Structures are given as structure tokens and as C-alpha cells.
């Protein structure tokens, strides 16, 4: 009697199944490092563009206006006459200059122009139901008191 060694059933392509998780891990690490590099470049560009008069927020949450910049430090005015010197790396973000905020009256006029009619709430009387008032004397009627049975 002769015994022949036959190979066990294989999953087929064993090498590629072992490489797939490794390729995925390397890809995730590359993508994360790329994202961090872009973020560092944006931060460096923000710090390099600092000039006096720019409003900034530090990484610790302090808001101030740039008074002067140095190679390593930035001097911020955090209140009238109060100057603080911080490291450039501590600048978190620049607050953009905002246009003058629109008042409520201007916003109402803009909406009214779009609709085609202007309604001023202070000039129009509001029709409110009587809410339980007696018509004869203008006094509030007594409400019935709740009693248990």
C-alpha cells in the first residue's frame, strides 16, 4: 500500500491576504502624516503673516491684538495698555476683520423690500381675544375652582 501526500486545501492567494492589512496600515499612517503636515504648514503661514493690528486667539484662549512681532515672540495687547509677550507657536488662529454688523431695523427693511410691504409692529394694533374678560365692566371673570368628587 502506497501513501501519497496530498496538499491540504489552501485558501488560494495566501500571500496577498497577508499583505492587505499591512498595506492598509501603511496607507492610514501616510494619510495621517500628510494631514498633520498640511496643518503645520497652514499654522506656519498664519504665524509668518502676522503684522501689527491683527486680532488673534492664542492656543490657551487669550484674545489680543498684535502690537509687534519678533523672530520668536509676538507682543499682544489684551486690554488697553496691557501687553503680553507670547511665543509665536502659541498663536492659534487669526480672527478675520468683520464688516459693520447690520442693525435689526436695516434687516427688517431689507426683508420688507423683498416681500413688497412694510409692517411696523409698533404701529399695528394686535387683535387679542378677550381671554375671559367680562364685556360689561372689563374685569377678569372668576375662574371656577377645582373640587374633588
Q: Are 76 and 84 in contact (CB under 8 A)?
A: yes
CA distance 48 to 119: 51
CA distance 103 to 86: 36
Q: Are 39 and 45 in contact (CB under 8 A)?
A: no
CA distance 103 to 99: 12
3-state secondary structure of 101: coil
Q: What is the mean pLDDT of each run of 10 residues along the chain (149 residues)?
A: 61 73 92 91 86 90 92 91 91 78 52 52 57 55 69
The pLDDT of residue 26: 93
The architecture in CATH of the region 15-94 reads Roll (2.30)
The pLDDT of residue 142: 66
Decide: pTM greater than 0.95: no
Show me where the domains of the chain are located.
15-94
Residues paired with 63 in a beta bridge: 57
Contacts of 134 (CB under 8 A, 6+ apart): 140, 141
The pLDDT of residue 136: 54
The pLDDT of residue 86: 92
The pLDDT of residue 117: 53
Amino acid at each position: 500500500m502506497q501513501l501519497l501526500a496530498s496538499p491540504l486545501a489552501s485558501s488560494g492567494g495566501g500571500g496577498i491576504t497577508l499583505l492587505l492589512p499591512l498595506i492598509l496600515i501603511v496607507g492610514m499612517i501616510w494619510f495621517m502624516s500628510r494631514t498633520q503636515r498640511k496643518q503645520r504648514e497652514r499654522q506656519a503661514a498664519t504665524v509668518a503673516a502676522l503684522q501689527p493690528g491683527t486680532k488673534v486667539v492664542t492656543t490657551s484662549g487669550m484674545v489680543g491684538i498684535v502690537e509687534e512681532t519678533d523672530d520668536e515672540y509676538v507682543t499682544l495687547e489684551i486690554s488697553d495698555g496691557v501687553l503680553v509677550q507670547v511665543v509665536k507657536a502659541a498663536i492659534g488662529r487669526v480672527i478675520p476683520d468683520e464688516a459693520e454688523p447690520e442693525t435689526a431695523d436695516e434687516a427688517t427693511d431689507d426683508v420688507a423690500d423683498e416681500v413688497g410691504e412694510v409692517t411696523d409692529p409698533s404701529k399695528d394694533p394686535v387683535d387679542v381675544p378677550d381671554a375671559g374678560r367680562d364685556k360689561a365692566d372689563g374685569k377678569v371673570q372668576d375662574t371656577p375652582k377645582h373640587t374633588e368628587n
